[in-house]
């Protein structure tokens, strides 16, 4: 998403962050295979993993889940059901792919990572169009 935001020159207006719902990879860099898939499209993935925190509900206007499991995990942190309107599935914004969830690429080899990058670019493009409209 940051790549597309920068391409449009909107980095001073749109802030993107990424966080997982589990603590497995806190502090880790993006997976080397995902970095390679992104690099093949001219995208450089940077940063380190962090876990989603309840304070993120107030920090961000929109919270995107990659799959239904993450969606449920995020909503469980919204104990008073105040922020559920901010939580959406990433694939809701895809127009070129029929996937309802972003699949786990770790067991699909290079093709799995390429599919996920293509799906995310599609979804992020649709999301950015919607954000710009609003």
**CA–CA dist 93, 90 (Å, integer):** 6
**Cβ proximity of 88 and 65 under 8 Å:** yes
Determine whether 134 is an active site residue: no
**CA–CA dist 83, 75 (Å, integer):** 8
- Catalytic hit among 31, 61, 99, 104: 104
For residue 89, list its beta bridge partners. 65
- Catalytic site positions: 104
């Amino acid at each position: 998403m940051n790549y597309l935001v920068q391409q449009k020159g909107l980095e001073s207006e749109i802030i993107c962050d990424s966080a997982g719902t589990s603590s497995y990879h806190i502090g880790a860099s993006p997976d080397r295979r995902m970095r390679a898939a992104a690099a093949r499209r001219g995208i450089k993935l940077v940063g380190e993993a962090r876990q989603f925190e309840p304070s993120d509900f107030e920090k961000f206007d929109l919270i995107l889940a990659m799959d239904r499991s993450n969606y449920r995990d995020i909503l469980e942190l919204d104990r008073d059901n105040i922020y559920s309107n901010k939580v959406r599935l990433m694939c809701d914004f895809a127009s070129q792919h029929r996937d309802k969830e972003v699949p786990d690429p770790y067991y699909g080899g290079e093709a799995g990572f390429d599919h996920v990058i293509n799906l995310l670019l599609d979804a992020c493009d649709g999301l950015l169009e919607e954000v710009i409209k609003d």
